Structure 1
Amino acid sequence: MQAFAIPDLPEIGPGDDLAAMVSERADLIDGDVVLVASTVVSKAEGRAAHLADYEPGSRAVEVADRLETATEESVDPRFVQAVLEEARALVMTEPFILAVTDGGHVGVNAGIDRSNTGGADLLLLPEDPHASADRIRETLDPDVAVIVTDTSGRPFRIGQRGVAIGWSGMPATRDWRGETDRDGRELEATVEAVVDELAATANLLTGEADGGTPVAVVRGFDGGSIDGSDTLFRDPETDFVRQALQGWSYAGH
């Protein structure tokens, strides 16, 4: 398997044909997986925003006040209002906001970015990352898969890694349940989050700061014969960590 970043992409702006730009700079072949950072997808889709666009409601003011108490740092209630408008649900509100987006991804501040925003105050996640991946894939000539990626923190570990928030042309997971290990024991719980693993691979190449390489290609990935599924995000009924957090009270202030 090989992985490489696509060089020389210009700064992306609203209305830019991101897929065409990728095609011009990469000789893609059937079976490639094209991984696109959500920042450039959002820029092409006009998802930049300014704090002045938001009028904070009472809930935003309340959450901002709680965050200021917890962190002893100033919190703009307009930013909190932006998070509330992008969130389908809140998992926790202090000492940071952990939110569920409409697409099912759970992330800090509903994935709203305040770096590499192209001059705006905020960069929101794509409105429908799966539809974004579909559109990019339809424009690319070869039979490829497309994954829209973001960076996200991990419970119990320091640091961020790439994750998939939208995908097209491949299953999200490989379900190893029912297969046997080398000792003949049947696997009962192993479901491999393939799109997340590929997103993390891409993140090693695209970087986190000013590298300017937001698109990567993985070539030679073999999905194998194990059945896959598009189910990646846990539903609330089986997400016991989310349930625990929603019943947790922050006592750090």
Structure 2
Amino acid sequence: MELFAVPELPEIHEGDDLAAMIADRVDLRPDDVVCVASTVVSKAEGRAADLDEFPAGPRAKEIARNLEEVSGEEKDPRFAQAVLEESTDVVMEAPFVLTETRFGHVGVNAGIDRSNVPDHDLLLLPKRPSQSAERIHERLPESPPVIVTDTSGRSFRHGQRAVAIGWAGMPASRDWRGETDRDGHELQVTVESVVDELAGAANLVSGEGDDGTPVVVVRDWAFGDHGGSDNMFREMRGDFVRQALRDWEYEP
């Protein structure tokens, strides 16, 4: 397959038509996959914010104090308040804040970004990334699938990689269960998260920092003749790591 960045996209502002801006710069095919960084989706949807919009409540102040003790650095309780307001569940409060967002993604600080926001303090994740992906998908010529990506850390490994937080026009996963390997053994558990894999591949092209290439087209990749699934975020009853964290306390 081939991946290439959509060239010469300008700084995105609230109300910008991302689909039109992409279509003006690349001729799309129906079997392309368009990977769009959540930062530009958030900017177009007006998700930039300032810390003063989040006056800190008691719990946010306590979280900030605890983080200051752990890190030795001053923490703004207004930022903690923003994280709480963007979350439905706090999984960990120290040595960093790990939360579940409204749409089911678990990440540090509810995915709130403090970089690449020229006129504000914060950039919040899109409220409903799959709905955002659907809107772009419907407006793009040829209606190729769309994946909204974000960068996050990984349990048990150093470093970050991009994952899908929203998608439209394709299933999230290829379901290999019931198919056979080369020796004829039936696959029992393999469900391949293709939207995450494509998001990670796109991030190799889009880069980080000041690259300014937030949209990547994946070409000549095929889903194949497999079952599909949109199950992405684990439910609590099957998320054994999260269950264990409920009874865990940070000890420096």
* Structure 2 gaps, min length 5: none
Alignment partner of 2:166: what SS? strand
- The residue aligned with 1:59 is 59
| Aligned-residue identity in percent | 63
For the residue of structure 2 that corresponds to 1:210, the secondary structure is coil
Report matched runs for 1:100-111 at 5 Å: 100-111=100-111
Query: Residue deviations 1:65-87, cap 9 Å, x none?
Result: 11111112111000000000000
- Tell me which amino acid in the other structure corresponds to 1:68: E
The residue number in structure 2 matching 1:247 is: 247
Q: Please state how far the C-alpha of 1:53 moved relative to its aligned partner.
A: 1.1
Per-residue CA deviation, residues 71-127 of structure 1 (Å, 9 max, x unaligned), is 121110000000000001111010000010011111100000000113210000001
- The equivalent of 1:238 in structure 2 is 238
Letter matched to residue 93 of structure 2: T
> Following superposition of structure 1 onto structure 2, how do residues 159-178 of structure 1 map, counting pairs within 5 Å?
159-178=159-178
Q: CA deviation at 1:54?
A: 1.0
Residue 244 of structure 1, CA deviation: 1.2
For residues 225-252 of structure 1, what are the alpha-carbon distances to aligned partners after superposition, in whole Å with 9 as ceiling and x for unaligned?
1101111111111011111112111001
**Runs of 4+ residues deviating >2 angstroms:** none
RMSD value, Cα: 0.8
Task: State the distance in 1 between where 2:194 and 2:117 align.
Answer: 29
Separation in structure 1 between the aligned mates of residue 187 and residue 25 of structure 2, nearest angstrom: 43
Return the letter of the residue paired with 2:7.
Answer: P
- SS at structure 2 position matched to 1:25: coil
- Once the 2 structures are TM-superposed, how far is the Cα of residue 178 of structure 1 from its aligned partner? 1.6
Q: How far apart are residue 143 of structure 1 and its match? A: 3.0
- Counterpart of 2:148 in structure 1 is 148
Name the structure 1 match of 2:208. Answer: 208
Opposite residue 246 of structure 2, the aligned amino acid is Q
Alignment: residue pair count: 252
Correspondence for 1:82: 82
Q: Look up the equivalent residue of 2:62 and give its one-letter code.
A: E
Please give the TM-score of this superposition, normalised by the length of structure 1.
Answer: 0.98
SS state of the match for residue 166, structure 1?
Answer: strand
List runs of 5+ in structure 1 lacking aligned partners. Answer: none
**Aligned twin of 1:34:** 34
